[in-house]
Chains A and B, each alone.
Chain A
Amino acid sequence: MSKPAHQFHRVAAPSDIPAGEALRVKLEQCEIAVFNIDGEFYAIDDVCTHAFALLSEGFVEGDVIECPLHGGRFEIKTGKAVAAPCTVDLRTYPVRREADAILVGIPAAD
């Protein structure tokens, strides 16, 4: 019997995250930024892979987040680092949308 790979947690109501903005959430040891891009929700690591800064405090342009500290950029949908100084991608987390809740999945504990 296999365990589910992710454990989902309710993090917010959809109305808590306006379009183009992010919500910072902490699930177990994971610091996660949940973004609303045109009504779709995406979750990625909140901490920049270059230096310590929170991407949830950054600047959303389309589907790219710019780090508030040194201006590095990541694709919100994929976590891919797309602009210097960032070269290491962010982890992404699965998101489920229910009627009145956004759920984010983190790797299930053994």
Chain B
Amino acid sequence: MGSGDPFVIVGCGQAAGWAARTLRQEGHARPIVMIGDEPHPPYERPPLSKAVLLGKAAPESTHLFPGAAWEGLGVEHRRGATATRIEADNRRVVLSDDRSIPYERLLLATGGRVRKLNVAGADLPGIFYLRTIDDSLSLAGELRSDGRLLVVGGGWIGLEVAAAARQRGMEVVLVEAAGQLCGRALAGDIAGHLERLHRDHGADISLNCAVSRFEGTARLERVQLTDGRRLEVSAAVIGVGIAPNDELARGAGLAVDNGIVVDEYGRTSHPDIFAAGDVTNHPNALVGRRIRLESWENAQNQAIVAGKAMLGKTEMPYAEVPWFWSDQYEANLQLIGLPQAWDRVATRKGGAGGSFLVCYFNAGRLQGAVGMNSGRDLKFVRRLMQARASVDPGHISDASIRLQDLLKAAT
């Protein structure tokens, strides 16, 4: 059997937490050490740009394993130092305080870090990023009805923060450098729908627009935009994506290519080292290519599979249709699959409230779907995709056909 050294997890987010719990669930009784610089036990991030930001949910409500449940897992969480190097041949992780920890198996759940905006004044106080509980609480203190918030980036984080700020009665100016919102994730017509939603709630949205300069003496006071406007703002939040924290893996000589390259069990190119969550580049048979996902579900379910693989259990590969959601005002938007190209679109209109479901087909195959306030229908579409079922676009458009009946017929 193994060396008897601990199982070490680098990172302390959602993937780290689920991997640790999975190790315990699967009977691993020996020490687990988790290295990560968070003052909190592992938590989920989605509420940080929604309910926690609005003060409608306590930060503790995001913890994966509430109350004593986390303590009960017996994971030693090392906070003081960060992991700086992996000695893969010696099976040791070297820390920033020059100490090192031997491991039998290592999991890299290092996630991502926010991309910083590289313009003048971007380090002024009053400019925020959103990734952690503490980021969310700091930003929450800036949302007030007599202020004006500049949101840089029209992706999920920017839009959710914009919605929260408007709900607080704050003036919101959002700038997006590309020609549409959520350009990586949404087709133009859906992005236009989202844009109208935000405009209808009073947000000032400018596409093809960026920040040239932040200004202020002790703190952010004004912003100069590339469209020529110079605005007084009380705070700014920047949401321009994350970069994978793959440097440790790279330094250890592991295969890295837009994230740590792993297989469908979270195994890296080194047999003792595993990886899970936002940081991985992994194969997805249902999508038909390698992908790196920044998603709640991936952080959870890939980590569960990787945790089992660390114990040599590889009965169930990780293979799920990607799923994302966002809540903005009264709209719940959900995306499944990662359609890149399509030759046919089928739309199912919902009842009152403008809910809809749009499915994308390519060469007769269902590639993905997006829906607004139609989570239940999307669930059935996702199961159809998961089962690789053949779906007739005409059946999607025909609202008299129940999707659960299509699923029953297909499986």
Contact = CB atoms under 8 A, between A and B. Distances in A.
Given A68-B375, A69-B375, 9 more contacts: A51-B47, A68-B376, A71-B297, A84-B18, A84-B304, A85-B64, A87-B21, A87-B64, A87-B65
Instruction: Report whether over half of chain B's contact residues are helix, strand or loop; otherwise say mixed.
Output: helix
B264 interface: no
B216 interface: no
Nearest to B332: A69
22 contacts: A51-B47, A57-B376, A59-B379, A68-B375, A68-B376, A69-B375, A70-B296, A70-B297, A71-B297, A84-B300, A84-B301, A84-B304, A85-B44, A85-B64, A85-B300, A87-B21, A87-B64, A87-B65, A87-B66, A87-B69, A88-B66, A88-B69
Contacts of B304: 84
Instruction: Report whether over half of chain A's contact residues are helix, strand or loop; otherwise say mixed.
Output: loop
B341 to A, nearest CB: 28
Interface residues of A, number: 11
Contacts of A51: 47
Q: How large is the interface on B (under 10, 10 to 19, 20 to 34, 35 or more residues)?
A: 10 to 19
Contacts of B376: 57, 68
Contacts of A85: 44, 64, 300
B308 to A, nearest CB: 13
A38 B375 CA distance: 27
Contacts of A57: 376
Interface string A63-79: 00000111100000000
A109 B64 CA distance: 33
Nearest to B21: A87
A89 B178 CA distance: 46
Contacts of B64: 85, 87
A99 B18 CA distance: 46
A35 to B, nearest CB: 17
